[in-house]
């Protein structure tokens, strides 16, 4: 087995006296999808935002495998290294596409912008690459100059995915990426995500309260309750043979598929 790409140990986040998450430890391996599930308020977003460097932790270690093999704590990165992770090596897919897109610039520019941030300067190349990515996420080529404000929810989410993937990131964070979509649209976005994650062997940490999403996309699962991990393991094992009473309750409350 190779080394983990991300390693979290004893992570805690307090909001004043209130505990957002605590005693959280897990690893993510390259190419692996890990789902974080649990009821509303269990600390999923808190955890995701801490490990993606968007929220300051109160305690604990978060280590990331850099492309050169080093494995520093996020707190020890230089500003340039942090920028590299945010702009290139990591992606973040928000539940609400408006949080991850610029709604009033063209679809092509939304994708091209990430390329320019990593130093791509040639207009023709940027436009061609942006066009390639739009087609990979099944957005018609003739929509390249349209603004996402004119797109449906599913298209916006697919555009957000393209914008994230264009820099060939190694690790993607997702917070309820299909949470705001209706069911039929959800299925298409999930299908697309599953294909891309496999093709690009991306490591993904995905927050979802939907166990069907976890089943479809993830190999491993972490179940949270009240800011703690109550159960973790292979997704099939956790869903087919849940051990913790809370996981049993979660699994029992989803309709048979």
Ligand X SMILES: Nc1ncnc2c1ncn2[C@@H]1O[C@H](COP(=O)(O)OP(=O)(O)OP(=O)(O)O)[C@@H](O)[C@H]1O
45 or 88, CB closer to Mg ion?
Answer: 45
30 or 179, CB closer to ligand X?
Answer: 179
The one of Mg ion, ligand X, none whose footprint includes residue 20, by CB under 5 to 8 A per kind, is ligand X
Gyration radius from the chain CA atoms:
18
Q: Torsion-angle region of residue 47: left (phi > 0), alpha (psi -120 to 50) or beta? A: alpha
1 or 18, CB closer to ligand X?
Answer: 18
- Residue 123 touching ligand X (CB under 6 A): no
Q: What is the DSSP letter of 85?
A: I
Q: Measure the CA–CA gap between 205 and 197, rounded to whole angstroms.
A: 11
Neighbours of 166 (CB within 10 A): 24
Pattern 153-192, binding to Mg ion, x per CB under 5 A? ----------------------------------------
The one of ligand X, Mg ion, none whose footprint includes residue 10, by CB under 5 to 8 A per kind, is none
Pattern 37-56, binding to Mg ion, x per CB under 5 A? --------x-----------
37 or 217, CB closer to Mg ion?
Answer: 37
CB of 140 to ligand X, least distance (A): 33
DSSP 205-248: EEE-S-HHHHHHH-SEEEEEETTEEEEEEEHHHHHHS--SHHHH
Dmax over Cα atoms in the chain, in whole Å? 57
Any residues with CB less than 8 A from the CB of 46 and at least 6 apart, and which? 13, 20, 21, 55, 227
Specify the pairing of strand 33-37 against strand 220-225.
Answer: parallel
45 or 178, CB closer to ligand X?
Answer: 45
Instruction: Give the residue, chosen from 41, 117, 145, 236, that forms a contact with ligand X under the rule CB under 6 A.
Output: 41
H-state helical runs in 5-106: 44-51, 79-84, 97-100
Instruction: Give the residue, chosen from 87, 188, 209, 228, that forms a contact with ligand X under the rule CB under 6 A.
Output: 209
Instruction: Give the residue, chosen from 6, 37, 44, 158, that forms a contact with ligand X under the rule CB under 6 A.
Output: 44
| Chain positions contacting ligand X, by CB under 6 A | 15, 18, 20, 38, 40-46, 209
């Amino acid at each position: 087995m190779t080394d983990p790409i991300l390693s979290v140990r004893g992570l805690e986040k307090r909001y004043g006296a209130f505990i957002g998450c605590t005693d959280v430890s897990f690893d993510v391996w390259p190419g692996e999808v890990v789902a974080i599930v649990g009821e509303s308020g269990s600390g999923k977003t808190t955890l995701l935002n801490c490990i993606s460097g968007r929220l300051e932790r109160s305690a604990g270690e978060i280590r990331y495998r850099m492309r050169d093999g080093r494995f520093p704590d996020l707190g020890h990165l230089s500003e340039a290294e942090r920028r590299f992770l945010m702009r290139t090596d990591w992606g973040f897919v928000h539940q609400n596409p408006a949080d991850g897109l610029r709604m009033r610039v063209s679809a092509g520019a939304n994708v091209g912008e990430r390329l320019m941030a990593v130093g791509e300067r040639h207009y023709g190349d940027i436009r061609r690459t942006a066009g390639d990515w739009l087609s990979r996420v099944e957005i018609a080529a003739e929509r390249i100059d349209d603004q996402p404000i004119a797109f449906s929810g599913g298209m916006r989410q697919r555009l957000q995915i393209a914008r994230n993937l264009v820099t060939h990131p190694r690790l993607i964070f997702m917070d309820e990426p299909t949470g705001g979509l209706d069911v039929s649209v959800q299925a298409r976005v999930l299908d697309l995500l599953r294909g891309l994650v496999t093709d690009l062997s991306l490591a993904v940490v995905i927050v979802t309260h939907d166990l069907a999403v976890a089943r479809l996309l993830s190999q491993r699962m972490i179940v949270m309750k009240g800011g703690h991990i109550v159960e973790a393991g292979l997704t099939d094992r956790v869903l087919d043979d849940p051990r913790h009473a809370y996981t049993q309750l979660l699994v029992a409350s989803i309709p048979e598929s």
